[in-house]
Chains A and B, each alone.
Chain A
C-alpha cells in the first residue's frame, strides 16, 4: 500500500477561453479509488484534464501529482487515455509499441502484447484502421504497460458499445484493487459511473458543484414527479432542475427538504440516480433555481469526507 498522499490534488484551477470561464476547480483523488468527472459537453472536463497533464496552462491554482508539484518525472507515472489516440494513424500497433518502448521508462513489451491479445487487437493493424472502441483499448493497453500509478482518461467510453464499456469498467476496478493505483476519468455517461466510480466530481459551466463520494451524493437527493399544477411555489423553490411536459413535472429535491416539505398527493418520490442528479443540476441555472434548493457548502473534498453541491448565488 502506498503512503496516504493523494494521487491527484487539484486546488483552485482557473482558465478562461473567450466567453467560457473556469474557476475554483478543486478536488482530490486518493489511491485505491476511481473518480468519475462528470458534466455535460462543454462544462470544462477536457480542459481540466489538459491542465492536469500540462497540455494547457491554468491561469490560477495548483496541481499535485503523487504529492508533488507537476514535473516531467511525475507525469511519467500517469497513463493517459484520450478520446482519440495520439499515435500516427500510419503506425502499426507494433510500431506503437516501438515508439512507447523508447519513451516510457518502465515499459513492458510483454505486458503490452498480452493486453493487445486480451483485447483482441491485431498487432499488425494500423492505428487508423481501429474502431473507436479498439483505439481506446489500445491506449489502455499502453497505459497499463508502463507501470502507471494513475490513469487519467477523457471520455474513454463515449461511442462504445455496452459490452466494451463493461469490460473497461472491470479493468479499471482491477487496476485500483491493490490500493496502489487510482483512476480519474471524465464522462457524460453516468451509468458507467454508477457501476464503477467510488467518487464523483461534478462540473457545470466551469465550476465544481460537487466533489465527494458517490454514495454520499446519491443519498442526498430524491427525484420527485407528479402533476405540475399541484406544486406550490413554496415547494417549487425547493426543487432543482424543474422539467415540465404534458402537464407533468419531474425534478430533484434534497432529501433533508423532504423532512419538512409535504408533497401533493399526485407526487411521488424515489431515490435519485446519478443520472437524475446530473441532468437536474445541468438543467438548473442561476436564474431559475432559488438558493434554498441547495444544501450549504461543506468543507473541501477528499474521498473520505465528501462535499456537497455548491449553492446558487
Chain B
C-alpha cells in the first residue's frame, strides 16, 4: 500500500510546479476576493478532485498501471491506495484553500479592496465549510473513481460528467417542486446542523466504502 501511495504522490507532485502554483494562487485570490474567504475551501477541493484524476491519466499515458503490477502491487492495493490518496489530497487542499482564502480576504481588505472578510475566524463556520467541501470531494470520488477504474481515463473523463448533469437536472426539477417549502427545510438544517452533518458524513463515508468495493471489482481483472 505504501508503494502506491508514494507513486501517486510522485505523480501528483507534478502539480506543484511553479506554473501550476502561480495559476492557483491567482485564481484562488480572485475567488477569495470576489466570493469571500470561505470560497477558498471550494477552490481547494476543486484542485483536490482534479488531482485525483492524474494517476489515472498517467496510468494510461505511460502504462504505469502495468508497472504497478510488475512491482508486485496488487490491483486491489492500487484501488485501496488511490481511494486513500485522493481523500488525503482533497483534505489537504481544502484546508490550504480555506486558510489561503482567509489570508487573501484579510489582505485585500487591508489594502482597501473592500472590507476584510473575517468569517473564517468563526471556528464553527470554518469547520462546517471545510467539512462540506470535503464531503463534496467524497461524493465526487464515490461517483467518479469507479468510472475511471472501470473505463480508464480516456473514456472515463467524459462519462464522469454524466452523473453531474443528472444531479443538476434533478436538483433543478426538485427545486421547482419544493418551492417555498425549501426555506423551511433550510431553516431546519441550520438549526440542527451538527446532527445533519453527522448523519450526512456517515452516509457519505458508507457511500465511499461501497464505491471502493465497486472499483475493486471493476479493476480486479483489468489487463494493461
Contacts and interface: CB of A to CB of B under 8 A. Distances in A.
A89 B62 contact: yes
Contact of A76 (B58, B72, B223): B72
B33 to A, nearest CB: 32
B10 A72 contact: no
B72 A75 contact: yes
Interface in A281-305: none
B2 interface: yes
B224 interface: yes
A74 B69 CA distance: 12
B70 A53 contact: yes
B6 A99 contact: yes
Given A55-B66, A88-B62, A98 B10 contact: yes
Given A86-B62, A86-B66, A86-B67, A91 B10 contact: yes
Contacts of A73: 72
Nearest to A152: B70
Given A55-B70, A75-B70, A86-B62, A99 B223 contact: no
Given A86-B62, A86-B67, A88-B14, A99 B7 contact: yes
A88 B6 contact: no
A101 to B, nearest CB: 9
A56 B10 CA distance: 25
B181 interface: no
A249 interface: no
B71 A76 contact: yes
Interface string B192-224: 000000000000000000000000000001011
Interface in B76-122: none
Chain A interface residue bracket vs B: 20 to 34
Interface in A53-102: 53-57, 71-76, 78, 80, 82, 84-91, 95, 98-99, 102
B50 interface: no
A119 interface: no
Classify the secondary structure of A's interface with B.
Answer: loop
A57 B64 CA distance: 17
A88 B11 contact: yes
Contacts of A88: 10-11, 14, 58, 61-62, 64
A102 B2 contact: yes
Contacts of A91: 10
Interface in B1-44: 2-3, 6-7, 10-11, 14
Contacts of B73: 72, 103
Chain B interface bracket (under 10, 10 to 19, 20 to 34, 35 or more): 20 to 34
A89 B61 CA distance: 9
Given A98-B10, A103-B6, A55 B69 contact: yes
A84 to B, nearest CB: 8
A155 to B, nearest CB: 15
A80 B224 CA distance: 15
Contacts of A53: 66, 69-70
Given A80-B70, A85-B62, A103-B3, A55 B10 contact: no
Contacts of A78: 70
Given A72-B74, A103-B3, A95 B63 contact: no
A74 B61 CA distance: 27
Contacts of B224: 50, 55-56
B76 to A, nearest CB: 11
Indicate the member of B14, B58, B67 with the most A CB atoms within 10 Å: B67
A72 B72 CA distance: 4
B65 to A, nearest CB: 8
Contacts of B223: 50, 55-57
Contacts of A54: 69-70
Contacts of B11: 88
A55 B11 CA distance: 21
A50 B58 CA distance: 19
A279 B69 CA distance: 34
A95 B10 CA distance: 8
B61 to A, nearest CB: 8
B14 to A, nearest CB: 5
A54 B220 CA distance: 12
B218 to A, nearest CB: 15
12 contacts: A50-B223, A54-B70, A57-B221, A71-B72, A72-B72, A72-B74, A78-B70, A86-B67, A88-B61, A102-B7, A103-B7, A103-B71
Interface of A: 50, 53-57, 71-76, 78, 80, 82, 84-91, 95, 98-99, 102-104
Given A84-B63, A88-B14, A88-B61, 8 more contacts: A55-B69, A55-B70, A75-B70, A89-B61, A95-B10, A102-B3, A103-B3, A103-B73
